[in-house]
Amino acid sequence: MSPRRDRPSTDAPRDGARKPYTRPSSAHRSAREKLSKRLSAGDPRSEQDPQRRIPVGLSTSSVFPAGVEEGFRLASEIGFDGMEVMVSYPQDSRDPAILREYSERYELPILSLHAPTLFFLQGLWGRDAWVKIERTIEIAKELEVPTIVAHPPFRWQGRYATGFVEGVAALEEEHGIAIAVENMYPWRLGVRELLNYLPDHDPTDEDYAHVTVDLSHAATAGDDALEMIERLGDRLTHLHLADGSGRTTKDEHLPPGEGNQPCAEVLRRLANRGWEGSVLLEVTTSGNAEIRERTLRQSLDFARHHLGHHLENDADGGADGGDGGDVGSTTP
C-alpha cells in the first residue's frame, strides 16, 4: 500500500493551450512500429534483483460478471495479497460494513477502491462527478484504505474536467487519501483519434502526485508503458496488470503474457528499484468458473515470478524455488 505523498513541485509541461478535439492516428502507428522493433530485437529483460516484495492484489472487475464476494473468495483461495474494489451499482461494492466483513472473513486487505468514474457508471450517485470521488473517499476513510483510483474526466464534463488536476490535489490535501489518476486512451475513429479526456488520456505529464498505469490501456493508446513508469518515478502508485495487442480499438485486458506489452519487464524494473506501490491484476476472464480460476492462477504466477517472489523462497531455502514454474519463458 502506498501512503499519500505530498503534491510535488513538478516540472510537468502544462502550457494551457486549448486541446484539439481530434488528431491523426500517427501517434498510435509510430508506437506500434516502435513496439515491433523492440520485439524483433529480442525484447531483453532485466536481471532480477528485487529490493522489495511488491504485493499483488486482485481487482473485483477481474471476476465480472461474478460479484464482489466471489472476487474476495477467489483471491483468498488462490493466494493474492489484497483487493481493489470497483465501486459500482451492486450494493456490496459501496457498503463499508459489507466490505469490511468480506475483508475480515477472507483475510484480505483492501489495497484500493476504484471510484465510479467509468462511462457506464455515470448514473451512480447522480451526475456530479466530484460526488462520485468524494463518496468513494468517505468509504476509503471508513475502511482505512489508503488509495482510490480515478479515471481522468471526459472533456464534455465542463468545470469538473477543466478543474480536475487542481481539484484532485485539494481533495488529497483535505482528506489524506491518495487519488491515483489512471491512464486511458483516445477513441479511434478511422484515421483519426477523438481526444475525449481532459487534460489528457495520459496523466503522466500532468501535475498529479499519484498515478495508476494500466498496461491494457497503454496498449490501446499506443503508449510506451516502460517510458511511462520511468517518467513517473515515485508518483506511480498502482500498476493495473493486464496485457494487450495494440492492434484494436478495444480495451482488451488480456492476461499477462497473452499480448505484446512489456508486462514482464515492467514488473522486473519495479521490483528492482524497490517500488513502494502495489500491483493489481485487472483482466477479463471467462464466465466459466473453472477457466476463470485457471486464468487468475496463471496470472498471479506470472506476476510473482517476474516480481522475484520466488527468489525469497530460494534465499529461505524453499523447496520449490518459484511460484511461476516456466512462466519466465512466456511472451511478455
The CB density around residue 14, as the number of other CB atoms within 10 Å, is 13
pLDDT above 70 as % of the chain: 80
CB 324 within 8 A of CB 305: yes
Q: Which residues pair with 303 in a beta bridge?
A: none
Q: Which residues pair with 194 in a beta bridge?
A: 22, 187
DSSP tag of 78:
H
Q: Strands 192-194 and 187-189, how do they pair?
A: antiparallel
Q: What is the pLDDT of residues 68-125, one digit of tens each?
A: 999 999 999 999 999 999 999 999 999 999 999 999 999 999 999 999 987 667 778 7
Sheet (strand 22-24) strand order: 22-24, 192-194, 187-189
Which is it for the CA torsion 262, 187, 181, 80, positive or negative? negative
> With left for phi above 0 and alpha for psi between -120 and 50, is residue 109 left, alpha or beta?
beta
Q: Where are the domains of the chain?
A: 111-312
Say if residue 89 is exposed, middle or buried (CB neighbours under 10 Å; 0-12, 13-18, 19+).
exposed
pLDDT at 24: 57
Give mean pLDDT, residues 116-143. 88
Cell numbers at 189, concatenated: 475513429
What is the pTM assigned to this prediction? 0.86
CB 305 within 8 A of CB 322: yes
Cell numbers at 97, concatenated: 460494513
For 155, the enclosing helix (H) or strand (E) is: none
Domain 111-312 fold = TIM Barrel (3.20.20)
Q: What is the pLDDT of residues 294-319, one digit of tens each?
A: 999 999 999 999 999 999 866 655 44
